[in-house]
């Protein structure tokens, strides 16, 4: 049986069925993944801290914010103000700020993470890796749903697990990008702790969220040979 956590990317959900989908998913998922893009770090603009507050009116599950922004301190403070459970910052823009931002998040009683884009090596976060609660590995280029899956990025998941085992680090390892039937086998072999599922892996499988969820579970179990305990 698989103990992986499932975190749907709400950027790809059907907003016409916002309440219905969240009420169903709350019975099955471990957390929600909230993409926050500023139009500068990536060209798209998506969700916001306000959206997290709207989700909280319906959901009891923890939320993890994935920042794709150039001004990390501005957004981190907003997310601290609304007590977003986990704040994941872009490793590419927090050099020189990482220690103080991680401390700021932890001092607020929240979890701090970083996100590594496909071209970004693990070495970028090694100076503060022992402080992290989560590391997200992008297996697609950031900013848009439906990007090409980059299998080479999975090697970083394997390396991060080895580093954690060797050093007793506490971070969870999350993968973000094209988590679906076509890639479940490769992802399972890399062995992340958290799968982010979006349009191709969940919301696009069927117009009805219960049917889409059942199909996602079936796909995972058929491809990996493991039962998904959800």
Known binding-site residues equal 33, 35, 66, 143-146, 176-178
**Sheet of 5-8, strands arranged across:** 5-8, 194-197, 172-176, 134-138, 111-116, 86-90, 63-68, 32-37
35 given a catalytic annotation: yes
CA distance 120 to 124: 7
Rounded to 5 degrees, what are φ and ψ at 25?
-60, -30
176 given a catalytic annotation: yes
Q: Which entry of 38, 133, 176, 193 is annotated as an active-site residue?
A: 176
Q: Which entry of 14, 16, 26, 35 is annotated as an active-site residue?
A: 35
Question: Which of 169, 164, 207, 202 minimizes the C-alpha distance to 184?
Answer: 202
Query: Which residues lie closer than 8 Å to 118 by C-beta, 6 or more apart?
Result: 138, 139, 140, 141, 150, 152, 153
CA distance 84 to 111: 9
Query: Which residues lie closer than 8 Å to 46 by C-beta, 6 or more apart?
Result: 11, 35, 36, 37
Known binding residues for a divalent metal cation are 33, 35, 66, 176
31 by DSSP, 3-state: which? coil
Known binding residues for substrate are 66, 143-146, 176-178
CA distance 83 to 179: 28
Residues that are catalytic: 35, 176
């Amino acid at each position: 049986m698989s103990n992986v956590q499932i975190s749907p990317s709400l950027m790809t959900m059907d907003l016409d069925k916002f309440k219905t989908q969240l009420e169903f998913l709350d019975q099955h998922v471990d957390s929600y993944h909230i993409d926050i893009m500023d139009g500068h770090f990536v060209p798209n603009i998506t969700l916001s801290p306000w959206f997290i507050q709207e989700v909280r009116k319906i959901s009891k599950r923890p939320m993890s914010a994935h920042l794709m922004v150039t001004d990390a301190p501005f957004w981190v403070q907003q997310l601290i103000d609304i007590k977003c459970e986990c704040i994941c910052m872009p490793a590419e823009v927090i050099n020189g700020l990482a220690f103080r931002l991680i401390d700021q998040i932890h001092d607020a009683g929240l979890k701090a993470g970083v996100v590594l884009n496909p071209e970004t090596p693990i070495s970028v976060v090694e100076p503060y890796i022992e402080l992290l609660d989560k590391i997200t590995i992008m297996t697609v280029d950031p900013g848009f749903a439906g990007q090409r899956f980059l299998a080479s990025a999975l090697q970083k998941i394997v390396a991060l697990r080895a580093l954690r085992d060797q050093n007793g680090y506490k971070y969870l390892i999350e993968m973000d990008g094209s988590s679906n039937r076509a890639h479940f086998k490769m992802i399972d072999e890399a062995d992340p702790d958290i799968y982010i599922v979006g349009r191709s892996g969940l919301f696009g499988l069927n117009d009805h969220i219960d049917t889409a969820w059942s199909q996602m579970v079936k796909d995972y179990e058929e491809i990996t040979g493991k039962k998904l305990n959800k």
